[in-house]
Structure 1
Amino acid sequence: MLKSPVRTGAVIDGFAVGDCVHAGGMATLWSVTHPDIDRPLLMKIPRVAEGEDPAAIVSFEMEQLILPKLSGSHVPACFGVGDFAHQAYVVIERIAGETLYKRLPELPLPYEEARGLVAGIATALADLHKQHVIHHDIKPSSIMFRPAGEVVLIDYGLSCHRRLPDLLQEEFRVPYGTAPYMAPERLTGLRNDPRSDLFSLGVLLYFFTTGVRPFGESETLRSMQRRLWRDPYPPRQLKADYPPWLQEIVLRCLEIEPKRRYPTAAQLAFDLSHPDQVRLTARAHKVKRDSIMTVWQRRLNRGLAPPEPAADVAAQIASSPIVAVAIDIAEGTEELNGALRLAAARILATLPAARLACVNVLKLGRVTVDRSLDEHGNSKHIDRMVQLRHWASPLKLDADRLTVHVLEAIDPASAILEFAGVNQVDHILIGARQDSILRTLLGSVSAKVASEANCTVTVVRPPRLAAPSEVRSGEAAS
């Protein structure tokens, strides 16, 4: 590595070094430019000096491995890496704005604002996990926002890419991370479960809505180990007006055992986007921590539990998809809706962690004035929600696996596509009715959905016409 320090005016592999914009404990950030890249850039350079923690060097190596593999709007674009033999660096895009850390003086945030904020972070995490990466350092200073509002996750020095060597796991036995946000299983050396990031996000949601961190500020390993058996104070004990649906989400994220948390970040984002449909359990109404007896049982049984097998991030996500079934209540035939139910049952039978979203579009007129009540004075919207639940009742799903949604739109196909994109739907089931002259001229809803969706689409016909057929229109929506 070069002995001379990096300084303003130096040129490294074609990158002209400008001002130092940040000097952290493990690395420095410099503004740089390149004649072939027309956008603001940052060069991250590790600190290498006598007495520096060797984990900082390994952490930087992990960033060099992971960043070039990432893509999409939720991660910083990478434009180059430098070899340790000459000058180690990573060049990434410079994102305008500040990190979420700058908002700490405003805490606690209003519940609705915090809900939307964390839903965006969960969406970014879902995209990251689909790229086989577990972040392992979700905290306010690792989160930024693009001008259009998309969340950007930064700082991948502690991350784990399930298709690359995990250098931190191979070379060290001490868990590295930010203590207040670290998941319990991280303290036992487990780094292969994406649900660890959901725990960290639960800590952030708890903190941003109460103004208090659920496990305090302690940095000692001994105090951190208590979260292996001790649950946090329920938010409702701190704030009497805390919404039950929000406490349900927060405490589910903060479950000690990963298998009791949300299976995927996409499902967490879904609940945050639809708080009115969050299934309330005993978590939602807790006002005290678990009893001492329960805590001691956890502590005594921890050594008896067999270790969980290594998880494959992609396999875990694939086993927990969000499936949307578009049901035509107004004109759909009993045979077609029965065929849709059968197709849904077959999918759900093989994927016990899947979530089903039943969707119906209440079609609006282009020029007419639409009425929200029918001729009997009943709400059309509520009536259709009831019918959707009736359609799904034979599936006998647990309440936390089923939601119903009535969308109001002029164009049903566009409404379904938008719903699928916003809610990171992995698979759409939609019925195709018999052909008609009008449908031939204008095109069918199912055809448009199948051709334009960014996820798997299964078009289902009544049994007398054809068997269900699957149409692949792209990879799962991010």
Structure 2
Amino acid sequence: MYKPGEIVCDYKIIEFMSQGGFSQIYKAYDPNGQLVILKFPDVSLLGDLATYERFRREVTIGQKLNHPAIPRVITFKEGSDCVLLALDYIEGKSLRTYISENAPLPLDKVLSLSDQLTEVIEYLHSNKVYHRDLKPENIIVGPDEKIHILDFGSALLEGSRRVTWRWGSNAFGTPDYMAPEQIQGKRGDSRTDVYALGMIVFEMLTGTLPFHGDNALSVMNQHLTAVPVSPRKLQPSVPPGIEAVVLKSIRRDPEKRYQSASAFRYDLQHYAELDLSQFQLEPEPSASGMLTDRQIWLRSILIFFAFLGVAALLVLVVYLMHHR
């Protein structure tokens, strides 16, 4: 990890910002003294070609996009001693912080932020890009309350070949916001992003999420099998039309969700005019599809030991790299 004041590839590190799934993110000054965001591939994963290809894919996607809510790619450096991606710095706070400070948000704020989010996702999808890791931590709310979407490390460019991370699976995303098809290892599409958007809108409306658990596996199992709680049960002031739209966006079956961000956006804008009799409730799952608490516990134990094994292997790889 780099320290504040350290010069790396001609950039002066200001502070560490976050650790992504495949990269480390810093706030820094460029050689001209301008603030930027720097992303470095995780050094422990640089030996994995699939991980490196995902980093390169993020660069390709960033250079393809041109939208005020998406940080501009300034430069990509690739050399034997320097691999980084420099992006425009975005001033503001994460939507996670914004929700924590203000939730449940007033309806007008929810609708304003949701409209901006769905508009940006419409733009991504029109360019055949699927984010696949939408969550409040990856969304910045600026001082003017304009939103910006960050971190395209898990994004998919339609038509790109499948690459598999050798330490894991094809299931990308964050458990609280992952669509069922992602959890099942599918690549995902526009409806996958719609599901995550629905979860974010649900959280802005109520201050919480529909599914909770002691561990990631428990939450993921609920995405696959449970019926989400009614937003109006948690927050009675939520209009019935808004509730119907949000619940449709997070249906388990992607065929029964909104098929596009634009359709989701339209119904949010016109929630008061909707015929609610046309909105079906999520059916209760069959008993055969449910996992018992014991099954969830056993899977959690297996995943825990699997992660321990991976961590030990990564430590060994890093040790060998530095003691050749």
Q: Is this a same-fold pair by TM over 0.5?
A: yes
C-alpha contact (below 8 Å) 2:170/2:187 kept by paired residues:
no
Unaligned runs of 5+ in 2: 291-324
Taking a change above 3 Å as real, the CA distance of residues 82 and 165 of structure 1, as seen in their structure-2 partners, is farther
3-state secondary structure, aligned to 2:91: coil
Taking a change above 3 Å as real, the CA distance of residues 180 and 58 of structure 1, as seen in their structure-2 partners, is farther
Offset, 1:32 = 2.4
Offset, 1:146 = 4.8
Larger radius of gyration: 1
Cα separation, 2, equivalents of 1:31 and 1:227: 38
Offset, 1:122 = 0.6
Offset, 1:107 = 1.2
Taking a change above 3 Å as real, the CA distance of residues 298 and 282 of structure 1, as seen in their structure-2 partners, is farther
Summarize the alignment of residues 53-452 of structure 1 with structure 2, pairs less than 5 Å apart: 59-83=54-78, 85-103=80-98, 104-146=100-142, 149-168=145-164, 172-281=168-277, 283=279, 290=283, 294-296=284-286, 299=289
Cα separation, 2, equivalents of 1:283 and 1:170: 42
* Deviation string, structure 1 residues 55-83 (Cα, Å, up to 9, x no partner): 86565344233222221212110011122
- 2:43 alignment partner AA: V
Cα separation, 1, equivalents of 2:43 and 2:273: 51
C-alpha contact (below 8 Å) 2:51/2:165 kept by paired residues:
no
3-state secondary structure, aligned to 1:152: strand
Cα separation, 2, equivalents of 1:56 and 1:149: 34
C-alpha contact (below 8 Å) 2:38/2:86 kept by paired residues:
yes
C-alpha contact (below 8 Å) 1:160/1:166 kept by paired residues:
no
Q: Are 1:31 and 2:28 matched, yes or no?
A: yes
Taking a change above 3 Å as real, the CA distance of residues 167 and 208 of structure 1, as seen in their structure-2 partners, is same
3-state secondary structure, aligned to 2:14: strand
Structure having the higher helix fraction is 2
Structure 2 equivalent of residue 314 of structure 1: none
3-state secondary structure, aligned to 1:167: coil
- 1:81 alignment partner AA: F
3-state secondary structure, aligned to 1:255: coil
- 1:296 alignment partner AA: S
Relative contact order, CA 8 A, sep 6+: which one is greater?
Answer: 2
- 1:167 alignment partner AA: V
Taking a change above 3 Å as real, the CA distance of residues 168 and 246 of structure 1, as seen in their structure-2 partners, is farther
Query: What TM-score, normalized by structure 2, do the two folds share?
Result: 0.77
CA RMSD for the aligned pairs? Answer: 3.2
Tell me the percent identity: 24
* Deviation string, structure 1 residues 102-136 (Cα, Å, up to 9, x no partner): 11232111222212211111111111111111111
* Deviation string, structure 1 residues 252-310 (Cα, Å, up to 9, x no partner): 101111111112111212222222223313658x7xx74xxx4107839xxxxxxxxxx
* Deviation string, structure 1 residues 353-372 (Cα, Å, up to 9, x no partner): xxxxxxxxxxxxxxxxxxxx
Paired residues in the alignment total 287
